[in-house]
Amino acid sequence: MDNLIEAIKQLKKEKNAVIMGHYYQRGEIQEIADYVGDSLALAQQAARTDADIIVMCGVHFMGETAKVLCPDKKVLVPDMAAGCSLADSCPADEFARFVEEHPGYTVISYVNTTAAVKALTDVVVTSTNARQIVESFPKDEKIIFGPDRNLGGYINSVTGRDMLIWDGACHVHEQFSVEKMVEIKRAHPDAVVLAHPECKSTILKLADVVGSTAALLKYAVAHPEKSYIVATESGILHEMKKQCLQTTFIPAPPADSTCACNECSFMRLNTLEKLYDCLKNESPEIKVDAEIAAKAVKPIKRMLEISAKLGL
Ligand code: 13P
Ligand code: SF4
């Protein structure tokens, strides 16, 4: 393992590569990454890096976003099969029809989408900035929000909007059950419940804090004296525990106790071995059709500009 880590570091240096990792990655990948962050931070880092190669340790749409922002750089992913059930729940041709059926609507898409869906979008959001970006539009703006029905419903509820929502979801966040949550809350009555807005509204109602992975982490770091039940992909516990050494973090239990369903099987496809191979072989490489990229870059840059103005 130590040899592998050294070999990755050596290759990275030789090739002027940067390794980016999402909070849902395996701990050892988070440890070797130059930047670890949520979806927004990874897009921001990609936009500003001067590396020649970006290795995106996350899922496919994160690599696509980096490639669209940096068309002249090589963007690698350790495993091309690392997809996303939420992005898959919104095929571009069906979304295009939905948009066409609703003329006059502004299209806001979650970053968990393919570049082809982003190409149909006016502004991209992540869970860190979705609320503020929606609120930056007039109250009576007609908005289509896709693809996450839970995040969209949550934003509607906190902003009083009535966005038209695409019926998509993430299989990891959807599986948390109220029954199991009530049980674990009863066992840990003083624990603060942190939940990601991709969870169902019934779970969000049981939460004390709802936010993106970065927001949940920030809350825990600001209040290390508390204990936490964490309703999101359990990879985030790595950074939480690292930053709050004395704090107790309890992953929200999967609905089915025989599976590790609170882990994203796509995120976990990336391993140190695959990271080494992809740097060595400069493959698999993310490619995005030039016409799609030219359209998709606009709503992504718009998101980055609004986020910068909002100080996010
Ligand atoms: P954030 O990184 O924006 O919290 O989103 C979580 C997610 O589902 C990434 O796939
Ligand atoms: Fe997609 Fe859900 Fe996995 Fe995030 S956790 S990458 S939304 S499947």
Instruction: Locate the ligand 2 atom nearest the alpha carbon of residue 84 and give its number.
Output: 1
Residues 6+ apart with CB under 8 A from 121: 107, 108, 109, 113, 296, 299
On whether the pTM is more than 0.75, the answer is yes
In the chain, % of residues over pLDDT 90: 96
Nearest CA to ligand 2 atom 2: 170
Q: Mean of the pLDDT values across residues 152-161? A: 98
pLDDT digits (tens, 9 = 90+) for 183-241: 999 999 999 999 999 999 999 999 999 999 999 999 999 999 999 999 999 999 999 99
Predicted pLDDT of residue 127: 97
Whole-number pLDDT of residue 254: 85
Q: Residue 106 forms beta bridges with which residues? A: 143
Nearest bound ligand to the CA of residue 88 = 2
Residue 273 CB coordination number (10 Å): 11
* Bridge partners (DSSP) listed for residue 168: 148
**Residue 22: which region, alpha, beta or left (left: phi > 0; alpha: psi -120 to 50)?**
beta
In the block, residue with structure tokens 């940067």: 18
Testing ligand 1's pocket by substitution, the residue of 30, 65, 90, 112 carrying the most ligand atoms inside 8 A of its CB is 112
Nearest to 14 by CA among 24, 6, 26, 2: 6
Pocket probe for ligand 2: among 59, 60, 125, 148, the residue whose CB has the most ligand atoms within 8 Å is 59
Which residues line the pocket of ligand 1, CB cutoff 6 A?
38-39, 112, 126-128, 170, 198, 212-213
Sorted by where each starts, the structural domains of the chain and their CATH numbers stand as 2-80+268-287 (3.40.50.10800), 86-170+295-310 (3.40.50.10800), 176-261 (3.40.50.10800)
Distance between CA atoms of residues 66 and 242, nearest Å = 27
pLDDT tens digits, one per residue of 252-304: 998 887 888 899 999 999 999 999 999 999 999 999 999 999 999 999 999 99
Q: Which ligand gives the minimal distance to the CA of 174?
A: 2
pLDDT (tens digit, 9 = 90+) per residue, 93-145? 999 999 999 999 999 999 999 999 999 999 999 999 999 999 999 999 999 99
Q: What confidence score (pLDDT) does residue 256 get? A: 83
Would you state the pLDDT for residue 238? 98
**Are the CB atoms for 193 and 202 separated by under 8 Å?**
no
**Distance of CA 253 from the midpoint of ligand 1 (Å):** 19
